[in-house]
Every structure is written in C-alpha cells, then in structure tokens.
Amino acid sequence: MTTPEANAPWLIVGLGNPGPGYADNRHNVGFMVADLLAERIGGSFKRHGKAQAQVLEARIGPPGPGSRRIVLAKPMSYMNLSGGPVTALRDFYKVPTAHIVAIHDELDIDYGALRLKLGGGDNGHNGLKSMTKSMGSDYHRVRFGIGRPPGRMQVADFVLKDFSATERKELGYFVDRASDAVEALVLEGLERAQSTYNS
C-alpha cells in the first residue's frame, strides 16, 4: 500500500538571484538547471500567487504509476532570503521536507562535479542557510561544483562573477548532467542517483 507521502509532489528548487545582472553568475547555476528542466518538460515558469517565486507544475518520468508530480521553482527573493518562498511553496503544495530538492553551487567541489545528498550543513551557502533556518535541514541537495576562488579573491566576489570563458565551454554539458541527476533522484531514489552521478 502506498503512503500519502509517496504520492506527494516533489518540490525542485533552483537557487539563484533574480534579474538579468545575475543570470550568468556562478551563484545562479541552480537557476540554469531549473531552466533546462523546464525546457525538457516543454513548459514555462509562471509567477506563483502565494509565494515570491516562479513555478512550473508538471509530471516527469514514464507515463503511468512510474511518473512523479513535480513543482519546479525559482525563488524570486534574493539568495539569502530563499527560505521564505520555499517554505511558502512547501506549505501550499503540501510537500514533505524529504521531497524537496535544492540545486545549488558548491565551492568545495571541483568545477562541474556533482554530489547528491540528503540533509547536512549549509557550508556557508546563504541560500541553504535561509532554507534550513525556515524548515530544518532534512531536504535533498544537488550540489554543483564551482571550485574555489583563485588567489586571494573573496568568495562573495567569486560566486557573483560569471563563469570564465574556459568554464563556459563545458557549462552546457555539466548543466545537462545536473538535470539528469535531479530527474534520477526523483524517479529512482537517492542511492541509485548517487551511484550514477556523484563524482
């Protein structure tokens, strides 16, 4: 017998900052992955009436019982206030915290590498910090490696800069792979997705 939680939707949140000035920043890789997922679904984001976010409601996976209902979201607050919109969406769609996936940039992982996990600390990431403060830490993370800043560059400056010309050559491939990882997490579960995508 399936539990109500098994039938609950998944809330997939790409973290980033709104506005064209931030669009290509390293800190906005969560938005990039969310945009690609929306493109794959063939839908478009719409402003949500109850939360400061853009959302797309859809199903992913094979037709029938194997498919999953998802709410794809991009908070339209700034990164350090992400928790408010995500919590509002969680409550509106009645999503268990374990069905929430945050896609975000990660400094302590080499550029383009992925790590999927459930729970844990925020590692100084302001978007995760805000989410954890609002609803606890028991949500999934798809961590997209951006590497450490070169030389003495401050972390805040590094994450708010665009990917370098060299990085951009492979960015499309890595965003595509991260999108695959999100789909695998929702459809196949964390362990199988980790065994395929954690690098």
Mean pLDDT of the chain: 95
Q: Tens digit of pLDDT for each residue in 38-76? A: 999 999 999 998 999 999 999 999 888 889 999 999 999
Catalytic residues: 27
What CA–CA distance (Å, rounded) separates 70 from 13?
10
φ, ψ for residue 183, nearest 5 deg: -60, -45
Confidence of residue 6 (pLDDT cuts 50, 70, 90): low
Confidence of residue 105 (pLDDT cuts 50, 70, 90): very high
What is the value of pTM for the model shown?
0.95
Confidence of residue 7 (pLDDT cuts 50, 70, 90): confident
What CA–CA distance (Å, rounded) separates 50 from 140?
23
Mean per-residue pLDDT, 126-151: 96
Q: Tens digit of pLDDT for each residue in 77-92? A: 999 999 999 999 999 9
